[in-house]
C-alpha cells in the first residue's frame, strides 16, 4: 500500500470505523487496528506497526476519555492507580517488540486475540452480578501491570484485555468498565508512544504520516462511539467485542 491520496482515504476510513467501534467496546480500537496494519503492510517490522497503532490508540483513548468524563462514567481514582501500575509494562513492551520476528509476532497476536474472544464469549453466557462493596484495588494493580506489557508489546492498547478483567475480576458494571478502561488506556498508551518516539520508530518510512492520519480519524470516531455506547446494552457490547476479536484472530492465523 503506497502513500497517495487513495491510501490516505483508506486509512482515514479505517480510522473512523475503528475509533467508533473501539470506543464503543472500551478497547481503544487497537485490537482491530493492529491486525489491519499487519495485513496492509506485510513487509513492515512489528516495531513500526505497533508504534503506529499505539499512537492512534493514544489519540482515540484520550478523545474517548474526555467524552466519558463528561458523562461521569470514569472511576478516576482507581483509573489513575491502574494506569500507573500499567506504565512500566507498557514501556517494557515497546522496548521488547523490536526483537521479535514478524512471523512469530503474527502468530502471537492471533493466539492472544483468539483466547480473549473465547473467554469473553463463554463467560458472557451467565449473568454476573455487580460486586458489592469496594473494588479490590490490589488485584486491579496486579492485572494492570500484566496488561500494560502485553498490550504495548502487541500494539493493541490494552482495553481488549482490560475491559473483561474489570468486569469479571473486579466486578465493574460493563459501561463503567469501558469508560475506566479508556481512561487507563490513554495513560498507558501515552507512555508507550513516548518510548517509541525516543527509539525513533516514527521516522521509518511513512510511519509518522500514517500515525497522524489514523490518530486524527480515530479521535473523531471515538466521539461517535462514546455517544453510541449510552444506547447499546452491556451484553451487546461484550458480544460485539468477542465476535470482532475472533474474526481478526482467524484472519491472522490464516496469514501465518
Residues 86-131 have pLDDT tens digits of 999 999 999 999 899 988 888 888 888 788 778 767 765 455 555 5
Q: What is the 3-state secondary structure (H, E, C) of 214-242?
A: HHHHHHHHHHHHHHHHCCCCHHHHHHHHH
Interval 147-156: pLDDT, tens: 999 888 988 8
Question: pLDDT band for position 213 (50/70/90)?
Answer: confident
155: left (phi over 0), alpha (psi -120 to 50) or beta: left
Side-chain-facing half-sphere of 105: CA atoms under 13 Å: 28
Three-class secondary structure of residue 138 per DSSP: helix
Q: What is the pLDDT of residues 51-97, one digit of tens each?
A: 888 888 888 788 888 888 998 999 999 999 999 999 999 999 999 99
Say yes or no to pLDDT of 222 above 70. yes
Query: Taking a C-beta distance cutoff of 8 angstroms, is the pair 91, 152 a contact?
Result: yes
Residue boundaries of the structural domains of the chain: 5-255
Separation of alpha carbons 256 and 244, rounded Å: 19
Closest by CA position to 142, among listed 111, 175, 170: 170
Cβ count within 10 A of residue 231: 7
> Rounded to 10 degrees, what is the CA torsion of 198, 203, 206, 212?
40
Q: Is 190 exposed, middle or buried (0-12, 13-18, 19+ CB in 10 A)?
A: buried
Q: State pTM to two decimals.
A: 0.76
Amino acid at each position: 500500500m503506497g502513500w497517495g491520496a487513495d491510501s490516505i482515504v483508506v486509512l482515514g476510513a479505517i480510522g473512523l470505523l475503528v475509533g467508533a467501534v473501539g470506543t464503543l467496546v472500551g478497547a481503544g480500537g487497537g485490537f482491530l487496528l493492529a491486525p489491519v496494519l499487519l495485513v496492509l503492510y506485510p513487509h513492515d517490522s512489528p516495531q513500526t506497526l505497533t508504534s503506529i497503532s499505539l499512537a492512534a490508540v493514544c489519540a482515540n483513548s484520550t478523545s474517548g476519555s474526555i467524552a466519558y468524563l463528561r458523562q461521569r462514567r470514569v472511576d478516576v481514582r482507581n483509573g489513575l492507580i491502574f494506569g500507573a501500575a500499567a506504565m512500566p509494562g507498557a514501556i517494557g513492551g515497546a522496548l521488547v517488540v523490536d526483537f521479535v520476528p514478524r512471523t512469530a509476532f503474527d502468530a502471537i497476536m492471533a493466539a492472544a486475540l483468539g483466547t480473549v474472544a473465547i473467554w469473553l464469549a463463554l463467560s458472557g453466557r451467565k449473568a454476573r452480578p455487580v460486586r458489592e462493596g469496594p473494588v479490590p484495588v490490589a488485584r486491579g494493580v496486579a492485572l494492570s501491570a500484566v496488561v500494560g506489557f502485553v498490550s504495548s508489546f502487541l500494539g493493541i492498547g490494552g482495553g481488549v484485555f482490560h475491559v473483561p478483567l474489570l468486569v469479571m475480576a473486579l466486578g465493574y458494571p460493563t459501561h463503567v468498565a469501558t469508560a475506566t478502561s479508556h481512561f487507563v488506556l490513554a495513560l498507558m498508551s501515552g507512555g508507550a508512544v513516548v518510548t517509541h518516539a525516543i527509539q525513533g520508530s516514527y521516522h521509518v518510512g511513512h510511519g509518522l504520516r500514517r500515525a497522524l492520519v489514523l490518530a486524527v480519524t480515530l479521535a473523531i470516531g471515538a466521539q461517535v462511539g462514546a455517544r453510541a455506547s449510552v444506547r447499546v446494552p452491556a451484553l451487546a457490547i461484550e458480544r460485539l467485542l468477542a465476535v470482532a476479536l475472533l474474526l481478526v484472530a482467524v484472519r491472522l492465523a490464516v496469514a501465518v
